Structure 1
């Protein structure tokens, strides 16, 4: 059902994009809009991972610079039946993470220093498993396509307002103004709906990859609480990437409504608790919450080179 909903939302976004192009330039405008979108998506397909990682100042680590972290990612990737992704560290105090890449063979997982310093090993495993689920589900490509089309809609709507749109069959001045406002808004709503749909699916699959739903539930509670208190300057400068993170990194976001990039943390935890019940209650919240906030990256208290 999640894939069906995503397909419907993507179709709606594409239809909206074509509709805006038609209002601006008729049939030829719709064709031009399609060509522009195809070009943007082609560029994003090959370069989106490098662009996003660069935006957030992510630095790649390996088995020598971060052996425990890389080893944990490798173990979970094997559980998921995935090739080993590249591993990156972002120097941000806010605990958070995202995955990127056009396919599982060209994927990367990026985590902040705040995440590795504030979560237990079990919680970190839950987060990484969630990001690997995005890779396995090809969500990273879907998110790139939706972001690209949504951005193209905004661009074309503004272009139509500037040039007055299709003068023969166009919407007129008032219609053009309405299109400039409503088309990007509609695109944003569809983009957010797709993001929320994929987050629930990644939570479910990530819990199955780790085998412990409550590891992720505990991590989500900690990350959500910290995200409202610790700013993420790079994310604030690049808000278009907010939907890629496991928890919205932007300030003032937490409502499970049309304007939220993520489902509410409470709803996500409740779904994971139900899944844990199906698993027989393994990976209880109490055990994880009582664990010392040190992980595989610091060797029992020794901070990594990025600390």
Structure 2
């Protein structure tokens, strides 16, 4: 069954009635997951690999969102601040820089810390107090979180923790099912549409050819987003291509087909399913972050912005420096796999053409921590390096780079204006 027919304008074709009958006779799970890879026996065997692929991302999201890591982080910072100031004022006011005997008895460490204290005075004491406060605060934060359940016994405490974990996994499953079942409606709400007749005539043969080269028995429906940004996205049951991508490459068939092959690998491997499950497990955390970010960004008062940041900073830090990096690490590996899939399908030149055109990543603002840790796409130059054919030289400028599109001139203007 050609899935693209369901998304095209050929609803009145002679095939539409048999297709409708086939869909009506199919099991409910099959009807709700139309567009998934057909090489899986059923919806469960399709969802399972994607859900279980990024275990480190799932574990991180579970700990951060459901085991209250932001609360422990807040306690650690609060006690670090208090411990640092108390140690500083005590040392500054009394002049006593001696350490407890238990610390001095630690081999090498005791003498080194005592020497630092003697030379730096209150500053060294503040640093030591801050470190001790952070450690103690984090441990106490974890302890306070689980103190209630364990007060009634170890069995009740373990049951409460396991129940919380099951709840987090259940939230991830529900969110994944929601994203999969209602994917078409979500995409339409966010701006995707079915291809026009001539868009379908250009795009669908390219997708079908890429699927054939990849030995895929089917391919998902393709939707169009009128955004001018050159990009394409693989979802669990659809591929969305921006109008800007088609225009950026002047409708070059080989190059655009390479993009479709890349996205088909994501779709076939269940990468969007994996990302949805991690997002679902971490959904409470993302929800709080979104609310805090909205409050912080909406107010114009510096005082109110500071208050919003003070209240929500543990969530901001946990998401940006723990949850997102773990998810992004798996996403970068998926990008390399998709690139290699396009090469195996015979689109090496087309894939290199895409990457050489965009010397930066498909993401914006890649710098510092975001570029190194949080970016979901690897640097394009490293992706190009992995696409090099053995035994061939690839000097700069890259000969695979396509020509830039000609600028559109308004009536009465010239290139020299």
TM-score category of the 2 structures, normalised to the smaller one: 0.5 to 0.7
CA 267–37 in structure 1, closer or farther in 2 if over 3 Å, else same: same
Q: State the Cα deviation string for residues 261-281 of structure 1 (Å, max 9, x = none).
A: 2111111111112xx227x78
CA shift, 1:53, in A, is 4.8
Aligned to 1:7: 55
Contact 2:359 2:381 in 1 (8 A): no
Size of the aligned set, in residue pairs, is 242
| Distance change >3 Å, CA 218–CA 293, structure 1 → 2 | same
Q: Offset at 1:71?
A: 0.8
Higher Cα Rg: structure 1 or 2?
2
Distance 1:157 1:70, change over 3 A: closer
TM superposition shift of 1:212:
3.0
Local SS of the residue matching 2:208: helix
User: For residue 20 of structure 2, what is the aligned residue in structure 1?
Assistant: none
Among 236, 250, 253, the residue aligned to 1:121:
253
Structure 1 pair 152–46 and aligned structure 2 pair: CA distance change class (3 A): farther
The answer to whether residue 383 in structure 2 is matched with residue 268 in structure 1 is yes
Higher relative contact order (CA closer than 8 Å, sequence separation 6+): 1
Find out whether 1:74 has 2:187 as its counterpart.
no
**Where does 1:36-185 land on structure 2 (aligned, <5 Å)?**
36-55=171-190, 57-61=191-195, 65-82=199-216, 83-101=218-236, 107-119=237-249, 120-155=252-287, 179-185=314-320
Unpaired runs of 5+ residues, structure 2, are 1-49, 70-141, 150-159, 292-310, 407-417
- 1:187-207, CA deviations, whole angstroms, 9 ceiling, x for partnerless residues? 122222221121111111122
Q: Residue deviations 1:218-257, cap 9 Å, x none?
A: 11222455x8xxxxxxxxxxxxxxxxxxx22xx3236641
Assess if the C-alpha contact under 8 Å between 1:6 and 1:197 holds in 2.
no
Distance (whole Å) between structure 1 residues aligned to residue 312 and residue 347 of structure 2: 51
Q: Give the deviation of 1:216 after TM superposition.
A: 0.6
**Residue 203 of structure 1 pairs with residue 339 of structure 2:** yes
Contact residue 157 and residue 183 of structure 1 kept, 8 A: no
In structure 2, what is the equivalent of residue 19 of structure 1? 67
Preserved CA contact (<8 Å) 2:194 2:223? yes
Q: Which runs of 5+ in 1 are unaligned?
A: 102-106, 160-175, 228-246, 295-307
Root-mean-square deviation (CA, aligned residues, Å) is 3.6
* 3-state SS, counterpart of residue 372 of structure 2: coil
- Of 289, 293, 301, which aligns to 2:401? 289
Aligned partners of 2:356 and 2:400 also within 8 Å: no
